Structure 1
Amino acid sequence: MTRADRLQPVQNLAEEAERRLAQQVAALERNAREAETKLLDLERYAEEYQRQYGERAGRGIGVTELRDYQAFLARLGEAMRQQRAIVTKTRNECDAGRLRWQEAAKRVKALDHVATQWRDEARRAMDRREQIEIDERAQRPRTQR
């Protein structure tokens, strides 16, 4: 068994780890997109609510309705603040996951490079041995004459 053959299980493990990390990155990116979509939905809702309220306020509203409006906007603002924090967190997780995946991909590439070098060295060594055998066979008839 050559060194390259002995390295194969390590390469397989590294490739599997890289595949797992790539899948994790895909899931993290989905989470980040979903969080961003929720934030956009909240922002659109807040804009629409304010627009509708502005129209109603133009016709006149009571103190209770004004207080309810302000309380709802405060809750909506808090929800948007929390969603922005979630968006930031998911983006950071996505970036960190992408870095882990890139490092795993670099390890796979390095292992592939080493295995290729070892296979090339083994092939060159075999070629040298074969050449030596050919040269020795070529020398035998001359010495036996």
Structure 2
Amino acid sequence: MSKKLPLDTLTELARTQKEEAARRLGALQSAQVSAHQKLDLLLQYRQDYSHQLQRLMESGLPASQWRNYRNFLSTLDGAIEQQRAIAAQANVRLDHGRGDWQHHARRLNSFDTLADRLRRQEAMLQAKREQRDSDERAARKFIDRAAHSSA
């Protein structure tokens, strides 16, 4: 079992930060999808009302009802522009969230790579120590046998 390196604490912190960034990214993706769905809904709603107005105009429409439709469509256009701004902002936030997640993923990968390198170095040093100890025991046995056989 390998001993815990001081770097392991940093690695765990980086892993936690990456997981938190992934959760934030998921929330940002949901918000972005929701913003675009609302925009699509408003656009569809506007198109439907515009077609409805067109049909009513073809069959004759009182001026007051025409003004009401035009005012409603104008209000709807304002809502569409607001939703476009919200969707654009959601896109920007999602891009920043992706960058944040990528930063934390790279940082974690760096710590993991460094920890692996340190563990390999420690394993090589341990293997060398064990080989040296084994060589020393073999040399002592040889010397003991040689001393006993000459006596």
Please give the range of the TM-score, normalised by the shorter of the 2 chains: over 0.9
Alignment-mate amino acid for residue 30 of structure 1: S
CA distance in 1, matches of 2:122, 2:4: 9
Structure 1 residue 120, shift from structure 2 partner:
0.6
For residues 25-44 of structure 1, the C-alpha deviation after alignment (integer angstroms, 9 at most, x for no partner) is 00000000011010011011
Partner residue in 2 for 1:65: 65
Structure 1 residue 143, shift from structure 2 partner:
3.2
Partner residue in 1 for 2:101: 101
Is the 1:21–1:100 Cα contact (8 Å) retained in structure 2?
yes
Partner residue in 2 for 1:74: 74
Using structure 2 for the length normalisation, give the TM-score.
0.90
Partner residue in 2 for 1:47: 47
Partner residue in 1 for 2:121: 121
Structure 1 residue 142, shift from structure 2 partner:
3.3
Q: Unaligned 5+ residue runs, structure 1?
A: none
Highest relative contact order (Cα 8 Å, sep 6+), 1 or 2? 1
Alignment-mate amino acid for residue 6 of structure 1: P
CA distance in 1, matches of 2:134, 2:29: 60
Using structure 1 for the length normalisation, give the TM-score.
0.93
> For this pair of structures, how many residues does the alignment match?
144
Q: Unaligned 5+ residue runs, structure 2?
A: 147-151
CA distance in 2, matches of 1:91, 1:104: 20
Alignment-mate amino acid for residue 136 of structure 1: E
Any idea what SS the aligned residue of 1:61 has? coil
Is the 1:31–1:90 Cα contact (8 Å) retained in structure 2?
yes
Identical residues among aligned pairs (%) = 30
Partner residue in 2 for 1:30: 30
Partner residue in 2 for 1:14: 14
Flag the structure with larger Rg: 2
Alignment-mate amino acid for residue 121 of structure 2: E
Measured on the aligned residues, the alpha-carbon RMSD in Å equals: 1.5
Alignment-mate amino acid for residue 104 of structure 2: A
